[in-house]
C-alpha cells in the first residue's frame, strides 16, 4: 500500500530539552543527546515496531521516526524527532531560542499535521505565549508539553503528557499554540505555572481548558480560537527585548518608576491593583507614567478591567485579563513590527490577536 493512501497522521516532535527527557548519571539528572528517541523505541506504548517494519517506516520518514500503536479511531500517528543540540534548560531559554523553534516549525509546516514541543516547565508558559504571537495564520496544532518527573523514572507524568500531546496533535485540527499537562489542554497564552510539587502544575485562570483527556478526549470546540484569515502561515521571529514588568505597591517611589521606564525600555506591563486601579493622589507617579508614554513607551495596565480614567489619561492601554506571561511576550512581538508606527502598535496591543484576552471584555 503506498504511503499516500495509508490513514496516517504525521507529527513533528521538537525536543528542546527539559525534565521529561533527562536521564540519571551518577545520581544527577542530565539531558542526554539522542537518548530520548532511542528509549521510546523500546516502549510498546510509544512505538509499534512490527508496523514500522511492514511499512518500511524508516525509509520513508527517517530513522528518528516512530509510530504509535493503532488508536481507537483506527488511525496511525507517525512522529519524527527533531532534537536540539545542546538540549536546553528552560531557565536558559531566550528569545533567540523562540525564534529557532518558530523557524523549525515554519520549515516543516507543510510536511506535518501537528507539532509537539518538549520543553522544561519553568518557562513553558512564556514560550507558549511567545509562539502564539509569532505564529501568524496558524492552521495546525502546536502543543507544548513536558513533565515534572523524567520519563525514565518508574512513576512519572512524562508518559501521559507526551502520549496525550501526540494523540491530540495527530487527531484534532485545533489551530492554536496549546499547552498540554496532566490530562488538560490549555490555550498557550492563557496558561501559567502554579505548582512545583504536583503533576497538576499548570492552570489557565481566565479560560476553561480547550480539551480534557480522561476516559475520553473531549474537545471544547466552542472555546477553540480560529483565526479569521486565509493567508499563508508564517512565523515572525523578531522580538523586542526592551520590555519589562513593573508591579505597583504602596510606597513605590517615583525614582523606582523612572529608573524602570528609562531608555532603552520600550514596553512595560504595569501590574496595577485589584481591578486596574492605581493611586490618584500621587502626581509624581502619574507624571512618570505620562512622560514615558509621551516619549513612546507602551504601557499595558494589566488587570481585568479598566474602571478608572486616571491611567487612560496617562496614556496606558488596558491589558484586560491577560496573564503577565502573555502581556510581556505580546509586547515583545508587537514592538518588533518594524513596518508599524507607534499608534498602530498601540492599537495592536489593544486588540485580541490570538485569544489571549477575553473578547467580551474588549469593550469594557
Return the residues of window 152-171 that contact a copy of itself according to CB under 8 A: 153-155, 159-160, 163-164, 167
192 is catalytic: no
Give the Cα separation of 318 and 335 in Å (integer): 16
Rg for the chain, CA atoms, rounded: 22
Query: Between 127 and 191, whose beta carbon lies closer to a copy of itself?
Result: 127
Select from 1, 7, 110, 196 the one that contacts a copy of itself (CB under 8 A).
Answer: 196
Kindly state whether residue 314 participates in binding a copy of itself, applying the rule CB under 8 A.
Answer: no
Select from 110, 214, 231, 360 the one that contacts a copy of itself (CB under 8 A).
Answer: 214
Kindly state whether residue 181 participates in binding a copy of itself, applying the rule CB under 8 A.
Answer: no
> Residue 161 in contact with residue 182, Cβ under 8 Å?
yes
In the structure grid, which three cell numbers stand for residue 103, read together? 523557524
Give the Cα separation of 180 and 166 in Å (integer): 10
Binding track over 61-80 against a copy of itself, x by CB under 8 A:
-------xx-xx--------
> Residue 178 in contact with residue 184, Cβ under 8 Å?
no
Return the residues of window 115-154 that contact a copy of itself according to CB under 8 A: 121-123, 126-127, 130, 148-149, 153-154
Candidate ranges 29-37, 39-47, 290-298, 351-359; the one touching a copy of itself (CB under 8 A): 39-47
Candidate ranges 55-63, 226-234, 276-284, 353-361; the one touching a copy of itself (CB under 8 A): 276-284
Select from 32, 183, 236, 337 the one that contacts a copy of itself (CB under 8 A).
Answer: 183
Helix, strand counts (H, E) of the chain: 11, 19
Residue identified by cell 514560550 is 127
Q: Kind of pairing, strands 142-145 and 65-67?
A: unpaired
- Size of interface with a copy of itself, in residues (CB under 8 A): 79
Sign of the four-CA dihedral 83, 41, 121, 107 = positive
- What is each CA distance from 316 to 90, 190, 272, in whole angstroms? 32, 22, 11
Give the Cα separation of 229 and 356 in Å (integer): 17
Candidate ranges 55-63, 104-112, 245-253, 341-349; the one touching a copy of itself (CB under 8 A): 245-253
Kindly state whether residue 52 participates in binding a copy of itself, applying the rule CB under 8 A.
Answer: no
Kindly state whether residue 277 participates in binding a copy of itself, applying the rule CB under 8 A.
Answer: yes
Question: What are the residue numbers of the active site?
Answer: 19
Amino acid at each position: 500500500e503506498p504511503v499516500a493512501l495509508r490513514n496516517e497522521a504525521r507529527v513533528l516532535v521538537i525536543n528542546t530539552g527539559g525534565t521529561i527527557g533527562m536521564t540519571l548519571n551518577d545520581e544527577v539528572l542530565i539531558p542526554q543527546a539522542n537518548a530520548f528517541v532511542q528509549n521510546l523505541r523500546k516502549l510498546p506504548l510509544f512505538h509499534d515496531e512490527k508496523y514500522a517494519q511492514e511499512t518500511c517506516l524508516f525509509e520513508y520518514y527517517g530513522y528518528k521516526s516512530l509510530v504509535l500503536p493503532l488508536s481507537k479511531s483506527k488511525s496511525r500517528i507517525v512522529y519524527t524527532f527533531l532534537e536540539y543540540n545542546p538540549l536546553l534548560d528552560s531557565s536558559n531559554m531566550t528569545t533567540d531560542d523562540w525564534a529557532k523553534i518558530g523557524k523549525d516549525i515554519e520549515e516543516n509546516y507543510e510536511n506535518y499535521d501537528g507539532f509537539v514541543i518538549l520543553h522544561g516547565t519553568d518557562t513553558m508558559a512564556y514560550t507558549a505565549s511567545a509562539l502564539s504571537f509569532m505564529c501568524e495564520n496558524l492552521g495546525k496544532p502546536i502543543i507544548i508539553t513536558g513533565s515534572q518527573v523524567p520519563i525514565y523514572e518508574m512513576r512519572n507524568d512524562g508518559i501521559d503528557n507526551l502520549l496525550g500531546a501526540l494523540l491530540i496533535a495527530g487527531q484534532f485540527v485545533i489551530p492554536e499554540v496549546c499547552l498540554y499537562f496532566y490530562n488538560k489542554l490549555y490555550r498557550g497564552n492563557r496558561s501559567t505555572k502554579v505548582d512545583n510539587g504536583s503533576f497538576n502544575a499548570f492552570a489557565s485562570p481566565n479560560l476553561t481548558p480547550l480539551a480534557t483527556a480522561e476516559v475520553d478526549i473531549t474537545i471544547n470546540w466552542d472555546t477553540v480560537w480560529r483565526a479569521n484569515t486565509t493567508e499563508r502561515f508564517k512565523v515572525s521571529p523578531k522580538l523586542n527585548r526592551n520590555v519589562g514588568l513593573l508591579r505597583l505597591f504602596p510606597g513605590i517611589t517615583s525614582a523606582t518608576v523612572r529608573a524602570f521606564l528609562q531608555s532603552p525600555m520600550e514596553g512595560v506591563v504595569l501590574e496595577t491593583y485589584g481591578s486596574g486601579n492605581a493611586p490618584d493622589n500621587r502626581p509624581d507617579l502619574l507624571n512618570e507614567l505620562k512622560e514615558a508614554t509621551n516619549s513612546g513607551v507602551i504601557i499595558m495596565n494589566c488587570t481585568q478591567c479598566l474602571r478608572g480614567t486616571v491611567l487612560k489619561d496617562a496614556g496606558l492601554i488596558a491589558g484586560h485579563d491577560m496573564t503577565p506571561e502573555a502581556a510581556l511576550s505580546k509586547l515583545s512581538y508587537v514592538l518588533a513590527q518594524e513596518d508599524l508606527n507607534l499608534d498602530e502598535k498601540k492599537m495592536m496591543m489593544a486588540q485580541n490577536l490570538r485569544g489571549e484576552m477575553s473578547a467580551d471584555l474588549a469593550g469594557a
